[in-house]
Amino acid sequence: MSAHKMIIAIDGYSSCGKSTLAKELAARLGYNYIDSGAMYRAITLYFLRNAIDLGDHNEVLDALSQISLSFVFNEHRNASDIYLNDENAEPFIRDMIVSEKVSEVAAIREVRSFAVAQQKRMGRKKSIVMDGRDIGTAVFPDAELKLFMTADPEVRVIRRFKELYATNPNITLEEVRDNLQLRDHIDSTREESPLRRADDAVILDNSNLSREEQLKLVLEMVKDRTKAFSVK
């Protein structure tokens, strides 16, 4: 759509479709998509597997020094999988046990510093779409386009339930609802880079939008930004 290289930052609550939009937007623009949430989930997976004491500063730092994260394109999914120390962690990071811990792990200052440093490195060449909780505020405050996604809480619960039910038919709506409420609370109240809307972010409430409608809407935003750049 444009020769201008942009960074598009997408923040918002869990199960608002951030990743879905980010992937589709990156594909249409020919940009790289970086799933920051997958990075925190992979770190959480490592911590769980190795019984890391989240309250032990030195133990957390030592664990982080043992972690290597990378993204490898998976042609079967037409998306990138996250690798944890050369292991494809994608099949494991969406498990409920990881979901229940990821916000707590992501709230740790050392963990965020570790992840943000890698995210900033990935964005040096621009032409990326990245989604998460603090992309437009902490990681890329100068991003050319920032979105803050939200949706009705019950819509989010149902979306998340359908996603999890495919692999875990024993999951209940109440479990999903409790998990989302807990994650929202932790994400919004943590001391380190809390979830909040950047002052210049566009709010996108997709409670009643289809995937196609929201993609079209954001592509128009990108087009408008491109025109602004050409004028300058």
| 22, containing H or E segment | helix 18-29
Residue 113 annotated as lining a ligand binding site: no
Residues 100, 106: Cα–Cα separation, whole Å: 12
Residue 65 annotated as lining a ligand binding site: no
Structure token digits, residue 100: 């229940």
DSSP string covering 142-193: T-SEEEEEE--HHHHHHHHHHHHHTT-TT--HHHHHHHHHHHHHHHHH-SSS
DSSP string covering 86-107: TEE-TTTTTSHHHHHHHHHHHT
CA atoms within 13 A on the CB side of 73: 6
Residue 19 annotated as lining a ligand binding site: yes
Q: Is the dihedral of CA 71, 50, 19, 81 positive or negative?
A: positive
Residue 15 annotated as lining a ligand binding site: yes
Residue 13 annotated as lining a ligand binding site: yes
Structure token digits, residue 118: 């890698």
Residue 20 annotated as lining a ligand binding site: yes
Output the known binding site for ATP: 12-20
Output the known binding site: 12-20
